[in-house]
Amino acid sequence: MVTHRRSILALLALPLALVASCDKVPLLAPTGSVITLLIATTSVSLNSEVTIVATVIENGAAPGGSGTGTSTRTGAGTPVQNGTLITFTTTIGHIEPAEARTHNGQVEVKLITGSTSGIATITAYSGGASTQINTLKIGTAAVKQVGITSTPQALGVSGGTSQVTASVTDDGGSGLGGVPVTFSTDKGSISPSTVTTDSNGNATATLTTTATAKITAAVGALTGTATVTVAARSLTSFTASPSSTSAGVPVIFTVTPATGANITNVHIDFGDGSSTETGPIAAAAPVPHPYNGPGTYTATATVSGDGGSLSTPVVIGSLPVTMSASPNPASVNSPVTFTVIGLGSAQVDHYTWTFDDGSVPSDTTSPQLPHTFTSKGIKNVRVDVFGVGGGKIGTAALSMEVQ
């Protein structure tokens, strides 16, 4: 009797075990189902995500899109049973979640792109039904156009820096993020040379140049170009003649404007603390200037406005003057005429004469001076020559006998 009861209980428990076993088997799309994948875009940035919707219909094709399954039937069809398991794979990036269960015949997952560019092949399958798309372009594979802009587009005559921005877009004109852009230029330098686009598809670098420069931004084989101009200088030359001479001798500086340049004024700094203005010039203009002391000077001509500047060096030595006396030797209480020799074209303001016979030094504007000695012996005479700016430009000394 006990054995009979146990047999009956075992028979009753069998359906429950079968039901529990069925719950562990995933629900898959039945034969004849069609899977359709829908993605809102055909291109996507690196290190981003895009939503993928899978529609699963049994006994017919899903409305819109296209899919492949074990069979395709005409008619409206019906969504598969809720909870039908759909599995996804991709050749680039990864799908989250890789498996999803339907609700009203649909599931929604995301493709996470990562850092690899290319055209992704995405597959969805369930039971005997499957579909695949291979039109999603990722990263550089999605790039349609590379545009480039600069701010500012024009620099002054001395050049400078300009911010360069490359815009990377897809077929629809949307920016692509995470795409590496390589910058180059035919003049100056650009830094950094490689920049990854931001979420708006923009990559920015800095150009430094002193000449008009062509900039190129490249993404793979696609490039964009732009030009940053540097204004032409208004002067073609600024020269000194002679470039090496003696103190007090005028140096002729020549300022030569560029053809067609509209120059209202040129400021010339001679490098010795003095300067002058030319006013408007339309042709080569000579500007004389004597230096009042030995040294190396740098003269600079600067055009008013943003016309640029040019410089030239000048080397100035002491004026090589000497002194003569007539008569020589001289007689006591008889006039002697002293003369400065070797002045050339030097511009002299005055001469200071010094005698060692106790007489007071004398200043003259003439290079000659008569002087009478009242005692016999060897006499020493010195003359200092001063230029028009007040600086001492030369010195001469003489020893002579007075009888």
Q: Is 188 left (phi over 0), alpha (psi -120 to 50) or beta?
A: left
The confidence score (pLDDT) of residue 23 equals 52
CATH class of 143-230: mainly beta
- Please state, for a pLDDT cut of 70, what percent of the chain lies above it: 90
The confidence score (pLDDT) of residue 381 equals 97
Write out the two tokens for 100. Answer: 């999803």
Q: pLDDT tens across 49-67, in order?
A: 999 999 999 975 444 443 3
The confidence score (pLDDT) of residue 53 equals 97
What's the pLDDT band for 13 if we cut at 50, 70, 90? very low
254 pLDDT more than 90? yes
Residue with tokens 């360069």: 164
The confidence score (pLDDT) of residue 390 equals 80
Q: pLDDT tens across 307-332, in order?
A: 889 999 999 998 999 999 999 999 99
CATH class of 33-140: mainly beta
For residues 198-222, average pLDDT = 94
Q: pLDDT tens across 361-380, in order?
A: 999 999 999 999 999 999 99
What are the phi and psi torsion angles at 8 (to 5°)? -65, -45
What are the phi and psi torsion angles at 166 (to 5°)? -100, 130
The confidence score (pLDDT) of residue 218 equals 96
- In the chain, what are the domain boundaries? 33-140, 143-230, 235-317, 322-402
CB burial of residue 134 (10 Å; 0-12, 13-18, 19+): exposed
For residues 96-125, average pLDDT = 95
The confidence score (pLDDT) of residue 76 equals 57
What's the pLDDT band for 306 if we cut at 50, 70, 90? confident
Residues composing the chain:
403
The confidence score (pLDDT) of residue 233 equals 74
- Please state, for a pLDDT cut of 90, what percent of the chain lies above it: 73
Q: Which of 40, 92, 50, 39 lies closest to 177 in space, CA to CA?
A: 50
The confidence score (pLDDT) of residue 305 equals 80
In degrees, rounded to 5, the angle at the alpha carbon of residue 325 between the alpha carbons of residues 321 and 330 is: 155
39 pLDDT more than 80? yes
- Sequence-distant (6+) residues with CB within 8 A of 131 are 34, 35, 36, 37, 54, 67, 68, 69, 123, 124, 125
Report yes or no on whether pTM surpasses 0.85. Answer: no
Q: Work out the mean pLDDT of the chain and round it to a whole number.
A: 88
Q: Are strands 49-58 and 106-112 parallel, antiparallel or unpaired?
A: antiparallel
Residue with tokens 């994948």: 37
Write out the two tokens for 48. Answer: 């981003």
The confidence score (pLDDT) of residue 109 equals 97
Domain 322-402: homologous superfamily in CATH: Immunoglobulins (2.60.40.10)
On whether the CB atoms of residues 204 and 162 are closer than 8 A, the answer is: no
In degrees, rounded to 5, the angle at the alpha carbon of residue 83 between the alpha carbons of residues 77 and 85 is: 90
What is d(CA 229, CA 150) in angstroms, rounded to the nearest whole number? 10
70 pLDDT more than 50? no
Burial 188-210 (b: 16+ CB within 10 A, else e): bebeeeebebeeebbbbbebbbe
CATH class of 235-317: mainly beta
Q: pLDDT tens across 136-193, in order?
A: 999 999 999 999 999 999 998 778 999 999 999 998 899 999 999 999 999 999 999 9
